[in-house]
Amino acid sequence: MVTLDAKIPDGPVQDKWDNHKFSVKLVNPANKRKFDVIVVGTGLAGASAAASLAELGYNVKVFTFHDSPRRAHSIAAQGGINGAKNYRNDGDSVYRLFYDTVKGGDYRSREANVYRLAQVSVDIIDQCAAQGVPFAREYGGLLANRSFGGAQVSRTFYARGQTGQQLLLGAYQALAGQIAAGKVTLYNRSDVLDIVTKDGAARGIVVRDMLTGQVHAHSAHAVVLATGGYGNVYYLSTNAMASNVTAAWRAHRKGALFANPCYSQIHPTCIPASDEFQSKLTLMSESLRNDGRIWVPRDHDETRAVADIPEDDRYYYLEEKYPAFGNLVPRDVASRNAKTVVDEGRGVGPLKNGVYLDFAAAIARDGEQAVRERYGNLFQMYERITGEDPYSVPMRIYPAIHYTMGGLWVDYNLMTTVPGLYALGEANFSDHGANRLGASALMQGLADGYFVLPYTIGDYLAPKLGEAALSTDDPAFTDAIQAVDNRTRRWTSKKGGTHGVEYYHRELGKIVWEYCGMARNEAGLEKALSEIPALREEFRKNVKVLGTPDGINTMLEKVNRVDDFMEFAELKARDALHRAESCGGHFREESQTEEGEALRDDEHFAYVGAWEWNGDDQAQTLHKEALNFENVALTQRSYK
Amino acid sequence: MSKTLNLKLKIWRQSGPHAQGAFLEVDANDIPEDASFLEMLDIVNERLIADDVEPITFGHDCREGICGTCGVMINGQAHGPEKATTTCQLHMRKFNDGDQIVVEPWKATSFPVLKDLMVDRRAFDRIVEAGGYISAPTGTAPDANEIPIPKEVADSSMDAAACIGCGACVAACPNSAAQLFTSAKLHHLNVLPQGQPERWRRTEAMVETMEDFFGSCTNHGECHEACPKEISLDFIAFMNRDYVRAKITNRSLASQ
Amino acid sequence: MAQTIADHSVPTVRKRAPQLPWPLNLYQTAIGKKYAMALTGIGLLGFVVVHMIGNLHLYEGPTEVHEYAEALRDLGGHLVPRTGVLWVLRLGLIAMFATHIHAAYSLSRMSHKADKSYVGKRDFVAANFASRTMRWTGPIVLLYVLFHLADLTWGWLNDDWYAGDPYNNVYVSLSALPIAIIYIVANVALAVHIFHGAWSMFQTLGINNPKYNGMRKGFARGIAGLILIGNLSFPLAVQGGLIDIDNHTPGSYAIDTEENG
In CATH, the number for domain B4-114 is 3.10.20.30
Look up the domain containing A415 and give its range: 36-264+404-464
A384 and A346 share a domain?
Answer: yes
Task: Give residue-wise pLDDT tens across range B96-134.
Answer: 999 999 999 999 999 999 999 999 999 999 999 999 999
Outline which parts of chain B fall under CATH 1.10.1060.10: 122-254
Counting as contact any 3 or more CB pairs under 8 A, the partners of B are A, C
pTM of the model: 0.96
A391 and A302 share a domain?
Answer: yes
Inside any domain, residue A315: yes
How much of chain B is in helix, strand and coil states, percent to nearest 5?
40, 15, 45
Res C3 pLDDT > 60:
no
- Confidence class of residue C2 from pLDDT cuts 50, 70 and 90? very low
Residue in A with minimal Cα distance to C3: A187
Res A588 pLDDT > 70:
yes
Of the candidates B129, B211, B219, the beta carbon closest to that of C14 is on: B211
CATH of B122-254, one of 3.40.1710.10, 3.30.2020.10, 1.10.760.10, 1.10.1060.10: 1.10.1060.10
Compare A563 and A307 and report the one with higher pLDDT.
Answer: A563
Whether the CB of A321 is below 8 Å from some CB of chain C: the reply is no
CATH number of the structural domain spanning residue A397: 3.90.700.10
State the catalytic residues of A. Answer: 331
Say if strands A607-612 and A621-626 run parallel, antiparallel, or are unpaired. antiparallel
Res A149 pLDDT > 80:
no
A394 and A299 share a domain?
Answer: yes
Longest dimension (CA), chain C: 86
Asked if residue A418 lies in contact with residue A438, where contact means CB atoms within 8 angstroms, the answer is: no
Cα torsion angle, A88, A93, A94, A99, sign: negative
Cβ contacts of B157 on chain A, cutoff 8 Å: 132, 134
Res C1 pLDDT > 50:
no
How buried is B254 (Cβ within 10 angstroms: 0-12 exposed, 13-18 middle, 19+ buried)?
exposed
Quote the pLDDT of residue C43. 97
Quote the pLDDT of residue B84. 95
Instruction: Identify residue A579 by its one-letter amino acid code.
Output: R
Cα torsion angle, A181, A183, A187, A188, sign: negative
List all residues of chain B from 58 to 87 with a beta carbon under 8 Å from chain C.
73, 75-77, 81
Task: Give residue-wise pLDDT tens across range A157-197.
Answer: 999 989 999 999 999 999 999 999 999 999 999 999 999 99
Task: Give residue-wise pLDDT tens across range B157-191.
Answer: 999 999 999 999 999 999 999 999 999 999 999 99
Res C253 pLDDT > 90:
no
What mean pLDDT is predicted for residues C51-77? 93
Mean pLDDT across chain A, nearest whole number?
95
Inside any domain, residue A310: yes
A290 and A435 share a domain?
Answer: no
Final residue before a domain boundary, out of A354, A379, A402: A402
Res C259 pLDDT > 60:
no
Whether the CB of B30 is below 8 Å from some CB of chain A: the reply is no
Res B14 pLDDT > 90:
yes
What mean pLDDT is predicted for residues A459-481? 97
Question: What are the residues whose beta carbons fall under 8 Å from the beta carbon of A469, sequence distance 6 or more?
Answer: A36, A203, A204, A219, A220, A221
CATH class for the domain made up of C29-115+127-260: mainly alpha
Task: Give residue-wise pLDDT tens across range C116-172.
Answer: 999 999 999 998 999 999 999 999 999 999 999 999 999 998 888 888 889 999 999
A379 and A426 share a domain?
Answer: no
Cβ contacts of A185 on chain C, cutoff 8 Å: 4-6
Q: Does the distance separating the beta carbons of B208 and C119 come in below 8 Å?
A: no
Res A230 pLDDT > 90:
yes
| Among the listed residues A279, A282, A535, A317, the one whose alpha carbon sits nearest the alpha carbon of residue A401 | A282
A435 and A526 share a domain?
Answer: no
Cβ contacts of B249 on chain C, cutoff 8 Å: none
A359 and A316 share a domain?
Answer: yes
- Confidence class of residue C254 from pLDDT cuts 50, 70 and 90? low
Q: Before C23, cis peptide (omega within 30)?
A: yes
Asked if residue C174 lies in contact with residue C234, where contact means CB atoms within 8 angstroms, the answer is: yes
List all residues of chain A from 179 to 218 with a beta carbon under 8 Å from chain C.
179, 185-190, 207, 209, 211, 214, 216
* Least Cα separation, residue C4 to chain A (angstroms): 5
* Least Cα separation, residue C127 to chain A (angstroms): 26
* Least Cα separation, residue A225 to chain C (angstroms): 19
Whether the CB of B206 is below 8 Å from some CB of chain C: the reply is no
A148 and A201 share a domain?
Answer: yes
Quote the pLDDT of residue A1. 65
Q: Where are the alpha helices (DSSP H) in chain C?
A: 24-27, 30-55, 62-73, 84-114, 129-132, 134-148, 166-174, 177-204, 213-240, 257-260
Quote the pLDDT of residue A44. 98
Cβ contacts of C112 on chain B, cutoff 8 Å: 215
Res C255 pLDDT > 70:
no
Q: Does the distance separating the beta carbons of C208 and B234 come in below 8 Å?
A: yes
Res B76 pLDDT > 60:
yes
Compute the distance between CA of residue A240 and CA of residue A280 in angstroms, rounded to an integer.
8
Whether the CB of C12 is below 8 Å from some CB of chain B: the reply is yes
| Among the listed residues A463, A443, A457, the one whose alpha carbon sits nearest the alpha carbon of residue A410 | A457
Res C256 pLDDT > 60:
no
What mean pLDDT is predicted for residues B215-241? 96
Asked if residue A261 lies in contact with residue A307, where contact means CB atoms within 8 angstroms, the answer is: no
Of the candidates C2, C5, C6, the beta carbon closest to that of A209 is on: C2
Res B254 pLDDT > 90:
no
Res C260 pLDDT > 60:
no
Our count of domains for chain A comes to 3
Mean pLDDT across chain C, nearest whole number?
90
* Least Cα separation, residue C187 to chain A (angstroms): 47
What mean pLDDT is predicted for residues B11-15? 97
Q: Does the distance separating the beta carbons of B208 and C29 come in below 8 Å?
A: yes
ipTM for the whole predicted complex goes beyond 0.85: yes
Range name among A27-41, A484-498, A501-515, B37-51 with the lowest pLDDT average: A484-498
Compute the distance between CA of residue B125 and CA of residue B128 in angstroms, rounded to an integer.
5
Number of A/B CB contacts below 8 angstroms equals 223
A523 and A383 share a domain?
Answer: no
Task: Give residue-wise pLDDT tens across range A80-92.
Answer: 999 999 999 999 9
Cβ contacts of C6 on chain A, cutoff 8 Å: 185
Of the candidates B42, B62, B128, the beta carbon closest to that of A176 is on: B128
Compare B21 and C249 and report the one with higher pLDDT.
Answer: B21
Give chain B's end-to-end CA distance (angstroms, integer).
Answer: 71
Q: Does the distance separating the beta carbons of C3 and A188 come in below 8 Å?
A: yes
Of the candidates C5, C110, C115, the beta carbon closest to that of B108 is on: C115
Counting as contact any 3 or more CB pairs under 8 A, the partners of C are A, B
* Least Cα separation, residue C105 to chain B (angstroms): 11
Quote the pLDDT of residue A640. 66
Outline which parts of chain B fall under CATH 3.10.20.30: 4-114
A313 and A392 share a domain?
Answer: yes
Asked if residue B37 lies in contact with residue B90, where contact means CB atoms within 8 angstroms, the answer is: yes
Whether the CB of B52 is below 8 Å from some CB of chain A: the reply is yes
Name the residue ranges covered by the structural domains of chain C.
Answer: 29-115+127-260
Whether the CB of B236 is below 8 Å from some CB of chain C: the reply is yes
